[in-house]
Structure 1
Amino acid sequence: MKESVQHVVVGFCVGAVSVGVAVAVAHRLRWVHFSAIRSGTNHKPEPEGGSERSGTEGEATRPAAIQADDVLSRESAQALNEARETILTLRALGGADQVSEDVGGNSINYAESQNILNLLYNIAEDQARKEGYVHRGITCNICNTSPVCGTRYKCGNCVDYDVCERCEPLDIHDKSHMFIKITIPLPPLASPRAALFKPLFTGSTARDHSLQPISWSHVKRLQKITHFDHFELEALYEQYRCLCDQDAVIKRDTFNFCLGPLGTLNNLVLDRLWQFYDFNDDGVIDFDDFAKGLSVLVKGTQEEKARFAFQGYDIEKKNSLSRENLTKLLKAYFQVSIELVRDVVKACEEEMMLNFDDSQGKPVSSLFNAPIPSTTGQQGRTANGKPPIPGNPGATKNMWPVMEAMSQDAIEEMVDNVFKDAKLEAGDRMSYQAFKELSTIDSSLMSWFDALGTVF
């Protein structure tokens, strides 16, 4: 084991040094090429039969061409000799046989070295093009580089905090804050000096409470009872630290916030999902509950999801389901679906109104039409003072009453069919085994459990 680790380390060092040698060779050759261009001596020798110039003129220009070739060949040979010496040294240390074979004893393979040089040139060109964007007046808060070149990352939750693209991967700043990627430089005086939006995480940050980093034993224990590996568990723990409060737990108000527009609803589906996450039924969600709940929703098997969906229907905790249990939860699921659809439709309407231009294709006189006076008062008007659009479901207090009435009948018919397929008579209760078999055939029985995704 120790020898294999040593071989890996040596191989890594060999690769790193080889790349460094290639970079040095690339810089040396590029500098030589640039110097030759500046001096005006970078001329390629012409073929013997292809020159139309006189012999005297060719003889006059030949020394300059020979001088350029001598400079290039001499500098290139020096750079390649340095690379060869480094590779031979690595070969003596061991682990550079493949690289030294490319050297070929006295010469380096031209095709492979040229590919490496082309790659390095492309990388340098891309980096130079990226660093051409200069954010004047902006200083990196980590390395104090001013101005920031390349991509600028601005914290949207702080008043004035910027980092450059080299420091951004260091992940030193508050992990609950959101960064804005800015490629095109903003005018220095127009750059915002205020927080652009509030933190999206409701809980305290890691620096605000005493929640310690997760221990290795804790990770190993959760690996045995969840479908996550230790990398995923460590990432989930960081997310949990940004959501929990001073008591290092997630409470119901945070859970409601994570539901977005549904957080203000008093709905049975939301209550059952909270009970699902609260495994130990203590009224809060700790990290074990958090990891186990996400494990079921993200990577759980059909049997696991069916068991928890059955527990959601079993409001009375009798280990069996009645018709009323299924009817109540399915009606609550329909209400949640209506709210989700209404929220999506509202967002689409707002976007359409922002992008809609009704002045196109109309005469100029249409801009001067005065509103027609109305003597009917405010009767028949919506909350914003506008008359309701005929057939618009949003103009009434109850949303789509016809659809709701139809859905109630459809839900009752669905419940009757479910109990009929289970061969149960009126008044009989459904067992978990019967529910599990039916859920594999009728996926709508599981729909409430997957309706809101993972919540977190």
Structure 2
Amino acid sequence: MSRKRLQQLVDSLGHSTKHFNKSEVECLIKLFDKLVAESSSRFAAAGFDRSMFRDILHSAFGMTEEMMMERVFRAFDRDNNSCISATEWVEGLSVFLRGTLEEKIKYCFEVYDLNGDGYISREEMFQMLKNCLLKQPSEEDPDEGIKDLVDIAMKKMDYDHDGKLSFKDFEKAVRDENLLLEAFGPCLPDIKVHQQKQKCNTMYFW
């Protein structure tokens, strides 16, 4: 990326990104360029493809669950072109790393709403929990345990009793109990991991 293009992008994102200052934005863009340059992906000229992004989620943020990493990829990929641009990278990290509770509630709901219909259904909860929970070898039917967890979640979070979670339900539940933010799977960075990771110049950027 040329110096002029870099400065234009920094200036633009410096205005639109709330949680990073301009030097941090520049740092993140340079990191993006470095990772893209090191990649052998055919998408590298445009940005991160799924494989590159999953590698970053795993190595930098301690994420391991495939389904959650795919959902995080989709949350970052705002234009749905299967490639994360420098702008999407910086704007996504702004919420992912430093977002307000309100921003993180919106982000997590979007991750958990698998079909994008504006609700988290029992089936979606089951699917996510089944993928995220470790199966115990002694369990004869682990699905029954997951169904019990879904029932518990619905009783606690389904305020209007319509059998699914609207954004309003999810928001109220999380505001009442912040630990419910990642109720259906880890989709935010592991605090212990990301606090120890990546320096840019002499500054932590997250």
Q: State the partner residue of 1:221.
A: 12
Q: State the partner residue of 1:328.
A: 127
Q: Check whether the contact 2:50–2:70 (CA below 8 A) recurs between aligned residues.
A: no
Q: State the partner residue of 1:268.
A: 67
Q: Does 1:428 align with 2:163?
A: yes
Question: How much does 1:296 deviate?
Answer: 0.6
Question: How much does 1:267 deviate?
Answer: 2.7
Question: How much does 1:293 deviate?
Answer: 1.2
Question: How much does 1:429 deviate?
Answer: 2.4
Q: Check whether the contact 2:6–2:26 (CA below 8 A) recurs between aligned residues.
A: no
What CA deviation, in whole Å up to 9, does each residue of 1:386-416 have, x standing for no partner?
xxxxxxxxxxxxx74126956x544432321
Change (3 A) 1:442 1:266: closer
TM-score, structure 2 length as denominator? 0.73
Change (3 A) 1:272 1:452: farther
What CA deviation, in whole Å up to 9, does each residue of 1:28-55 have, x standing for no partner?
xxxxxxxxxxxxxxxxxxxxxxxxxxxx
SS in 1 for 2:120: coil
Q: State the partner residue of 2:203.
A: none
- Ranges in structure 2 where 5+ consecutive residues have no aligned partner: 38-43, 199-206
Given residue 131 of structure 2, which amino acid in structure 1 is its aligned partner? Answer: A
Q: State the partner residue of 2:137.
A: 401
Question: For residues 111 and 140 of structure 2, what CA distance do their matches in structure 1 show?
Answer: 23
Residue among 56, 64, 79 paired with 1:280: 79
Question: For residues 401 and 451 of structure 1, what CA distance do their matches in structure 2 show?
Answer: 28
Question: How much does 1:290 deviate?
Answer: 0.6
Q: Check whether the contact 1:240–1:287 (CA below 8 A) recurs between aligned residues.
A: yes
Question: How much does 1:239 deviate?
Answer: 0.7
What CA deviation, in whole Å up to 9, does each residue of 1:215-242 have, x standing for no partner?
4332222122221100101111111111
Q: Check whether the contact 1:310–1:435 (CA below 8 A) recurs between aligned residues.
A: yes
Question: For residues 80 and 94 of structure 2, what CA distance do their matches in structure 1 show?
Answer: 18
Question: For residues 269 and 235 of structure 1, what CA distance do their matches in structure 2 show?
Answer: 26
SS in 2 for 1:430: strand
Query: What count of residue pairs does the alignment treat as equivalent?
Result: 179
Question: For residues 218 and 247 of structure 1, what CA distance do their matches in structure 2 show?
Answer: 16
Q: State the partner residue of 2:34.
A: 242
Question: How much does 1:451 deviate?
Answer: 5.3
Given residue 80 of structure 2, which amino acid in structure 1 is its aligned partner? Answer: D
Structure (1 or 2) with the larger CA radius of gyration: 1
Q: State the partner residue of 2:2.
A: 212
SS in 2 for 1:402: coil
TM-score, structure 1 length as denominator? 0.35
Question: How much does 1:309 deviate?
Answer: 0.7
SS in 1 for 2:186: coil
Question: For residues 172 and 140 of structure 2, what CA distance do their matches in structure 1 show?
Answer: 29
Question: For residues 301 and 442 of structure 1, what CA distance do their matches in structure 2 show?
Answer: 12
Larger RCO (CA under 8 A, 6+ residues apart): 2
Q: State the partner residue of 1:257.
A: 55
Residue among 100, 122, 143 paired with 1:301: 100
Q: Check whether the contact 1:314–1:321 (CA below 8 A) recurs between aligned residues.
A: yes
Residue among 439, 442, 451 paired with 2:174: 439
Given residue 283 of structure 1, which amino acid in structure 2 is its aligned partner? Answer: S
Q: Check whether the contact 1:241–1:248 (CA below 8 A) recurs between aligned residues.
A: no
Question: How much does 1:424 deviate?
Answer: 4.7
Q: Check whether the contact 1:330–1:448 (CA below 8 A) recurs between aligned residues.
A: no
Question: For residues 52 and 119 of structure 2, what CA distance do their matches in structure 1 show?
Answer: 32
Q: Check whether the contact 2:159–2:169 (CA below 8 A) recurs between aligned residues.
A: no
Question: For residues 412 and 445 of structure 1, what CA distance do their matches in structure 2 show?
Answer: 19
Question: For residues 248 and 232 of structure 1, what CA distance do their matches in structure 2 show?
Answer: 21
RMSD of the TM alignment (CA)? 3.0
Which runs of 4 or more aligned residues in structure 1 lie more than 3 Å from their structure 2 counterparts after TM superposition?
213-217, 403-406, 408-411, 451-456
Change (3 A) 1:301 1:445: closer
Question: For residues 242 and 216 of structure 1, what CA distance do their matches in structure 2 show?
Answer: 16
